[in-house]
Amino acid sequence: MKGITADYYLASANAISQNGEMVFFSAYGNRTAGIACAKNLIVVCGINKLSSSLDEAMKRARDYATPLNCKRLNWDTPCFKDGICREGICFSPEYKRMCCQILVIESEVSPQRISLIMVGEPLGF
């Protein structure tokens, strides 16, 4: 709840397309809620998160960033085991799923709400 009422929210996208669409994945929705609703959003990303299209950005988030986040958190998901997304079986109740909430920002109605800082080196995954 604090994220959606925050004056400033700092985050990093899982991927950004060449057209500027930003992709964010969240397990619980608290991250995507803060990103979507905070008064001011600051997004910091390394050049490793750039993708050629929205489809490629979604693929990067699902097939690259998510398995690494599952490993970081030690979540027992199919992608944790071998790094390969198996979206179709990951809905099973026996797995904790990282890709529950997906937010794609294509544009912003409030012109100054989002600040994007691109760093000229790889940052995170």
List pLDDT tens digits, range 69-96.
888 888 877 777 777 777 777 766 766 7
Question: Cα separation of 114 and 116, whole Å?
Answer: 6
Long-range CB contact pairs, 2-6, < 8 A, 24+:
3/30, 3/31, 3/33, 3/34, 3/37, 3/38, 4/33, 4/34, 4/36, 4/37, 4/38, 5/37, 5/38, 6/34, 6/38, 6/39
Which tens digit of pLDDT belongs to each residue from 33-63?
999 999 999 999 999 999 999 999 999 999 8
Residue spans of the domains in the chain: they are 8-119
* Per-residue pLDDT tens over the stretch 13-35: 999 999 999 999 988 888 999 99
Place 99 in a pLDDT band, splitting at 50, 70 and 90.
confident
So what's the pLDDT on residue 8? 97
Residue 123 is which amino acid? Answer: L
